[in-house]
Chain A
């Protein structure tokens, strides 16, 4: 499998942390946006763990993409929400990575994207994520809080 450069873009009002393949990704800050890159051969599955902190009720987003040169970046993983009471939220999940993410339409490049959207459609987000995690194998992008 070739190496890919995974670009992480996280927005939150305080400090986020993200591990890809169980390695810390260094994020540099610009306002509420934190950006970093992880390069490596991850096989067909990218392990993701992230924690966002901020003011209760403020929005957060997590986006992982692979740069495709002149074309639009290939989406690998995307999630968003609002900071819960307590000021922190963390998730561990995984995303399917095609051998050539840029050859795949952006919405198909990461299986977790669809699963995250599916989780959002259910009112009880946590419950739905647990259900997704039980239902799908880790390689399919299972997500558990």
Chain B
């Protein structure tokens, strides 16, 4: 089963490319945790595949990274969602970070409670194309595609303490659209009408989105509190996994589309590398809709 997931993840990665963000993501593909990178990740809930690289030297406070990503039309495994439509999107991000901002960099040879923090700036661009059928307008299959350019700048702070807890908060600005609030629709143009006495005709079908399309500047604020359960005291042969739990919030403070949701994620982690989840299930609730989604991924290089 696991190999099947890995194969599926690999296939999903092929047509795309990051993620400076970790795989501890909610169903919308968002997180405030920027853990170790050089990660290829697939979030089935968001149908998002990403690949990233980070350059970091342990004794140097600054690091940088970049990544690329791609999403497909809609989530594959959103179990209780309202089938919000989404257009395929591709893009990239760049990241610059400072480590040990408030926490003290340990001296080699010393022990003690671990504390490590990171402050980073993540800027990115994404582009999607789709057909838009505006309300009260005559739909046409000859209408050109609408392009959407997504820009975002996010500042994030992560704090690791005690060997089993990581807190993350991220906030910034992002150019968004309201595609998720439109209705997935398709129009049909008859190319060859049905001959008299028959019911079969040839039609051209074009998928798009119906409603009043808008773009706006959002102000996302994300928080995560990740706790790693201790490993099994009596290891089971062949079972090298442990669990982590992620308490999360995802909000948009912009007045035009103010929203907030909270949730919880349960992740299955590699025993040898708990920062790389094998997979997880997250549930988020925004007051009206419960979204349950599945995240799975691979890491590169695999250790």
Contact = CB atoms under 8 A, between A and B. Distances in A.
B275 interface: yes
A15 B273 CA distance: 13
Contacts of B162: 56, 86-87
B274 A55 contact: yes
Nearest to B54: A29
Interface in A1-48: 11, 13-19, 24, 26-34, 36
The CB with the most chain A CB atoms within 10 A, among B38, B54, B111, is that of B111
The CB with the most chain B CB atoms within 10 A, among A30, A36, A56, A86, is that of A56
Contacts of A28: 55-58
Contact size class for A? 35 or more
A53 interface: yes
Interface residues of B, number: 40
The CB with the most chain B CB atoms within 10 A, among A11, A17, A27, A50, is that of A17
Q: Does more than half of chain B's interface fall in helix, strand or loop, or is it mixed?
A: loop
B275 A19 contact: no
A145 interface: yes
Contact of A90 (B38, B110, B230, B271): B110
A88 B112 contact: yes
B193 interface: no
Interface of B: 36, 38, 54-60, 99, 105-114, 116, 160-164, 228, 230-231, 242, 271-275, 299-303
Given A26-B58, A51-B107, A55-B275, 17 more contacts: A11-B303, A13-B275, A14-B116, A18-B108, A27-B59, A29-B36, A31-B38, A31-B299, A49-B108, A50-B109, A56-B230, A57-B242, A85-B163, A86-B113, A88-B110, A88-B114, A90-B111
